[in-house]
């Protein structure tokens, strides 16, 4: 196995651990600990950890190792606003080229949307995170600019890092046997509006998506009424 491949595999594995909540915000560890856990040498581990630090998932301490990044509510709000601008730009470019969107790409986007909506309705965060990230990444890549797709993916991953432990806690408070949904689940409606070239409907859905996330941030700070968890 080439070192670069091992480096990426380690980064992917640790990212999955963070997004699954098994490495919660503030959790600290060392290169040695991870190397022993995965039974690999220290060099690719160190490279993978620095990659994740550059992506905003981890924080490095030159003398103590690494810890999972803890984002404040204010930082989360800023990330939501930033991703809103990026997604609005993506949608603007797609609206201009609606008649040229390949049917096969729309079909893939629709499948991602169906799985994300199904997981959101069931309150299955592990499944939702994966398909939600794939959905928005697929949407962003349709504009043909990999830098836009990468930046949006990074913002959404950071939002999930902030949100995952809080959302799990909120879902656990639900009454036994109650529907576990409540997460934003209108991915399929976004795809349908894009396919129909209904720009106004897309903007309305995206605005609801971001407004709900920002309202959740207000509630976390003790402001506003609870309208349910967001589901980014």
What is the per-residue pLDDT across 140-160, written as a single tens digit (0 to 9) for each?
998 889 999 999 999 999 999
**Using CA atoms, how far apart are residues 181 and 125, in angstroms rounded to an integer?**
10
**Using CA atoms, how far apart are residues 166 and 218, in angstroms rounded to an integer?**
14
Residue 81 and residue 180 share a domain: yes
Residue 151 and residue 110 share a domain: yes
CA 202 to chain centre: 20
Domains held by the chain: number: 2
**Using CA atoms, how far apart are residues 38 and 21, in angstroms rounded to an integer?**
19
Residue 208 and residue 158 share a domain: yes
The arrangement of strands across the sheet holding 58-61 comes to 28-29, 65-68, 58-61
What's the domain range around 116? 73-220
What is the rounded average pLDDT for all residues in the chain? 86
DSSP notation for 155-168? HHHHHHHHHHHHHH
Q: Are 202 and 95 in contact (CB under 8 A)?
A: yes
Q: Would the pLDDT of 34 be above 60?
A: yes
Residue 194 and residue 103 share a domain: yes
Residue 208 and residue 124 share a domain: yes
Output the CA–CA distances (angstroms, integers) from residue 28 to 18, 48, 68, 147, 211, in the order listed.
12, 15, 7, 31, 33
Domain boundary among 34, 68, 102: 68
58-100: per-residue pLDDT in tens? Answer: 998 877 899 999 999 999 999 999 999 999 999 888 877 655 6
Residue 82 and residue 55 share a domain: no
The model's pTM: 0.85
Query: Of 137, 84, 68, whose CA–CA distance to 109 is shortest?
Result: 137
Residue 201 and residue 120 share a domain: yes
pLDDT at 97: 60
Q: Would the pLDDT of 230 be above 60?
A: no
DSSP E strands in the chain: the ranges are 28-29, 58-61, 65-68
Query: Of 157, 151, 188, 167, whose CA–CA distance to 231 is shortest?
Result: 167
């Amino acid at each position: 196995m080439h070192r670069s491949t091992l480096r990426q595999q380690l980064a992917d594995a640790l990212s999955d651990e963070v997004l699954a909540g098994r490495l919660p915000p503030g959790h600290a560890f060392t290169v040695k600990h991870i190397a022993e856990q995965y039974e690999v040498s220290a060099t690719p581990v160190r490279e993978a950890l620095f990659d994740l630090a550059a992506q905003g998932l981890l924080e490095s301490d030159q003398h103590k190792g690494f810890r999972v990044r803890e984002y404040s509510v204010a930082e989360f709000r800023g990330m939501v606003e930033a991703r809103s601008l990026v997604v609005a730009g993506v949608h603007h470019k797609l609206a201009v080229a609606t008649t040229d969107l390949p049917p096969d790409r729309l079909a893939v986007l629709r499948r991602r949307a169906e799985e994300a909506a199904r997981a959101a309705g069931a309150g299955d965060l592990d499944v939702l995170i994966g398909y939600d990230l794939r959905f928005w990444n697929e949407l962003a890549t349709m504009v043909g600019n990999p830098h836009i797709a990468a930046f949006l993916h990074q913002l959404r991953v950071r939002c999930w890092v902030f949100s995952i432990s809080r959302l799990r806690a909120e879902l656990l408070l639900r009454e036994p046997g109650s529907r576990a949904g409540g997460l934003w689940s209108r991915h399929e409606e976004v795809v349908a509006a894009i396919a129909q070239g209904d720009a106004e409907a897309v903007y309305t859905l995206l605005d609801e998506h971001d407004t709900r996330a920002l309202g959740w941030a207000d509630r976390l700070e003790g402001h506003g009424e609870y309208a349910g968890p967001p589901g980014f």
